[in-house]
């Protein structure tokens, strides 16, 4: 028993436990048809949390929330990250059938010629031109890998409704830091993140406005939804 006692007496120096401040959606244990109601409750919870949030000087996570497959951390200090092209590190090109096998809810832009689809982990992405500027559309299943972004105090975050059954966040202002699976962090510009059914979507464009992003998100061709 000596070794067990020595282990117990080790008095290990653990890394400091981070202080977690949660912003929580309403529990999702009811039927899907009631989602808009819970999204509205989530909106209120976020507003309440924002009202009670006290700016802190330390470089820590102030609060975070999950939106489908994306985790959004609100921090007071952004880590270093570099600007890279929208199409960098999206993974190899895959045929549509393979992309849809991975993310059956993958929507496509209303274009005559579809841009190449890229796969990285459980995320399917495509870059295309919209109103003369490049935009990046990514889609993932909510049970797949998580995307992560860090949002500083200079980035505006606004809840928006895309469809009656679909809510999202519009992030604008100062760039935020975005983590794509297996890629170094990069700076990301204006972005719309939204969920619909079991899928999470992300639309990013450096010159994208809120209204243009919403219009584009609504104009995408969603499988089985016409």
Partner 1 sequence: MLRAQRGDARAYEELVRPHQEIAFRVAYVITRNAADAEDAVQDALVKAWRALGRFRAGEPLRPWLLRIAANEARNRRRSAGRRERLTLRAAASPGEAAPSPEEALLATSDRERLLDALEALPDAAREVLACRYLLDLSEDETAGALDVRVGTVKSRSARALEKLREAYGTGA
Residues 40-59 that bind partner 1 (CB under 8 A): 41, 45, 49
Give the footprint of partner 1 on residues 68-107 (CB under 8 A).
71, 73
Is 143 a binding residue for partner 1 by CB under 8 A? The answer is no
Residue 94: CB atoms within 10 A of its CB come to: 17
Half-sphere exposure of 181 (CA within 13 A, CB side): 19
- How many residues in the chain? 226
Strand bridging mode 166-173 / 155-163: antiparallel
Whichever of 21 and 210 has its CB closer to partner 1, that residue is 21
**Residue closer to partner 1 (CB basis): 178 or 222:** 178
Site for partner 1, residues 8 to 47, rule: CB under 8 A? 8, 10-15, 17-18, 20, 22-29, 41, 45
Q: Are the beta carbons of 162 and 218 closer than 8 angstroms?
A: yes
As a whole number of angstroms, the distance between CA 131 and CA 158 comes to 23
Per CB under 8 A, the list member of 36, 89, 153, 181 interacting with partner 1 is: 181
Decide whether 29 or 224 has the Cβ nearer to partner 1: 29
- Site size toward partner 1 (CB under 8 A) is 38
The answer to whether the beta carbons of residues 100 and 106 sit under 8 Å apart is yes
Antiparallel, parallel or unpaired: β 155-163 and 186-188? unpaired
Contact residues: partner 1, CB under 8 A = 1-4, 6-8, 10-15, 17-18, 20, 22-29, 41, 45, 49, 61, 64-66, 71, 73, 121, 145-146, 148, 181
């Amino acid at each position: 028993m000596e070794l067990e006692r020595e282990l117990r007496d080790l008095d290990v120096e653990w890394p400091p436990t981070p202080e977690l401040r949660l912003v929580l959606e309403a529990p999702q244990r009811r039927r899907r048809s009631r989602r808009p109601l819970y999204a509205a409750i989530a909106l209120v919870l976020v507003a309440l949390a924002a009202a009670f949030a006290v700016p802190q000087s330390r470089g820590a996570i102030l609060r975070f929330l999950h939106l489908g497959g994306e985790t959004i951390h609100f921090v007071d200090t952004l880590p270093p990250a570099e600007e890279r092209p929208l199409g960098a590190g999206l993974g190899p090109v895959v045929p549509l059938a393979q992309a849809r096998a991975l993310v059956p809810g993958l929507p496509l832009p209303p274009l005559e010629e579809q841009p190449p689809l890229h796969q990285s982990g459980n995320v399917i992405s495509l870059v295309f031109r919209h109103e003369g500027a490049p935009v990046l559309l990514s889609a993932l299943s909510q049970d797949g890998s998580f995307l992560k972004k860090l949002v500083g105090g200079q980035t505006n975050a606004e809840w928006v409704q895309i469809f009656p059954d679909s809510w999202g966040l519009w992030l604008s202002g100062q760039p935020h830091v975005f983590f794509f699976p297996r890629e170094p962090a990069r700076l990301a510009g204006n972005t719309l993140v939204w969920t619909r059914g079991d899928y999470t979507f992300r639309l990013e464009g450096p010159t994208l406005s809120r209204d243009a992003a919403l219009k584009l998100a609504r104009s995408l061709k969603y499988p089985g939804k016409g």
